[in-house]
Amino acid sequence: MRQTGVRRSIVAAVIATTAWSAVSCSLLFDRSGDAKHLDQQIHGMPGVADTDVDYKSDFTSGERFDLTVMLRPDVTDQQVSDIGRAFVDVTNKTGLSERSAELALRYPINPPPPTSNYTTDYSDTLFSAGSQSVRDNPTADEVAASAATWLRAARSPAAIGVQLVQPLWSQPGDSRQITVTLRPGATSADAIALQASDPGLAGASWGISVIGDEMYRPHDYYSTPTPPTDAELDLWRRVSALVGVSQGARGQTTVPAERGKQAETWFEIYLPDGAGSEPDARRIAYGVARLVLRFDHPVQLTLYTGDGTAELVVGGCYQHDAKHQVQPLEADLSTAFEKC
């Protein structure tokens, strides 16, 4: 019996070693030649200004293939569709799309946007495939159609930048998010006209990025799926000016309300928290809450302070969890602006 047990142990060890060798070979399978050939193929396609390829295969992270394509300003819808289709077709054929493959397209913004350390001078996409990052790979037709929709929006004089991500985390291959940042002078009517021009933009996010200083993050506000009104755009500019360039501010309106949010519109504001900053912090907090009253629906307002986080729903009533500790600023704002 001992010999049988020993023999079984040896057989099991051989099987395990063989299986590990198979996995190891799979992870270290060298497709760098395929990656290089695809890079060369797309680099030579019409509408392409330049490409950058990054291919890795190792035990730690497995196989990864990233291709960035810089587009010419005169690239056409058909050309960008052909680029997307070629990427999907070749990565599927060669197996590059099995683990992780990403295609980034970049289209130059002209004229360039205001300078900031946190913005780019191009619109971009990120198409992902592979078992490491997505549930379902997008098809060649889906990538081609999305790329064309993205390019048409990026070329619009109403847009200063357009970002597209496809697919979304743990969602089907045709899921995507398109974010359109409007030029400073663009109106709500401009955004509505652009959205109506392409069915692919029906579910996009629309908004503005207020840049006060290149050293600080812009103040961003977006609305999904309906573009913000001129009054809402003006309201966000007023909020941004009140908060000041050195403090963070961002907002979003999503209909229906995002999961985990207590109102369709939410603002997150960072208040001054240095020594002697309490008067300024209270002034900004009350000023933002008064501005928020101009919305025709409740707004979730989150204020980050040196003493903690203040949460309320202006025009509504924030539902806190049982362990929540109310700080003085939150209590005062709730009394003044909530309806509990």
Domain tally, the chain: 2
| pTM more than 0.85 | yes
Same domain, 155 and 263: no
Choosing from 169, 203, 237, the residue where a domain stops is 203
Per-residue pLDDT tens digits for 292-323: 999 989 999 999 998 889 999 999 999 999 88
Give residues with Cβ within 8 angstroms of 14, minimum separation 6.
none
Question: How many residues are there in the chain?
Answer: 340
71 found inside a domain: yes
Same domain, 189 and 238: no
Task: Look at 5-9, 61-65, 70-74, 155-159 and tell me which has the smallest mean pLDDT.
Answer: 5-9
Choosing from 162, 178, 203, the residue where a domain stops is 203
Give residues with Cβ within 8 angstroms of 236, minimum separation 6.
207, 208, 210, 219, 221, 228, 251
Same domain, 53 and 106: yes
Per-residue pLDDT tens digits for 119-165: 999 999 999 999 887 889 999 999 999 999 999 999 999 999 999 99
| 141: containing domain | 30-203
Task: Look at 22-31, 227-236, 290-299 and tell me which has the smallest mean pLDDT.
Answer: 22-31
Q: Report the 10 Å Cβ neighbour count for 219.
A: 24
